[in-house]
Amino acid sequence: MRVPRLRGRGIGRALISVTALATAAGPYKADWNETHVHNPAWPPHAKFHNGQTMSLGLALGLGSLYQLWRAPGSARTSLDTGATLASLYWLTQISALAYPGSKAVDPPGTARFPQAKIAFPALALTGLGYLLERRRLAKAT
């Protein structure tokens, strides 16, 4: 099966880019509301860390897109870096559940981990994109 190319890049990079875009925009979509940024019950330091997390998602997403679509240098290094940056936000979100007293939602919410519906598909999409792009690069050399 022939993998289509996008501006000299494989479909794998496009798939990773979907995760990068979700990483950059998702935190703002999920948190810029009355449950997070505009929550009067949250102390200022909690809002500080929420802002830090949102900015981190934006920086990781933009960094990933830059690495994936910049002028060719080392295609493999750009792919490795872009995929890593696209994955870090989601991996750290999952790991946050391991901290003492941590929960994915504030009371009275009862959901266990609603972020899973984005985090796990984003990681799977990045993994698929990475494998497709690695295969394309191997065939090109």
Kindly state the tokens that stand for 52: 């830090």
Cβ-contact 86, 41 below 8 angstroms: no
Q: If residue 141 lies in a helix (H) or strand (E), which one and from where to where?
A: none
pLDDT surpasses 90 at 48: yes
Q: What is the pLDDT of residue 71?
A: 74
Average pLDDT of the chain is 91
Return d(Cα 109, Cα 123) in angstroms, integer.
Answer: 25
pLDDT at 3 over 80: no
Q: How far is CA 50 from CA 64, 66, 130, in A?
A: 21, 24, 29
pTM summary value: 0.85
Tokens encoding 49: 């860390």
> Nearest 5 degrees, angle CA 47-CA 53-CA 58?
130
**Would the pLDDT of 38 be above 80?**
yes
Mean pLDDT of 89-111: 92
Q: Is the pLDDT of residue 4 over 50?
A: no
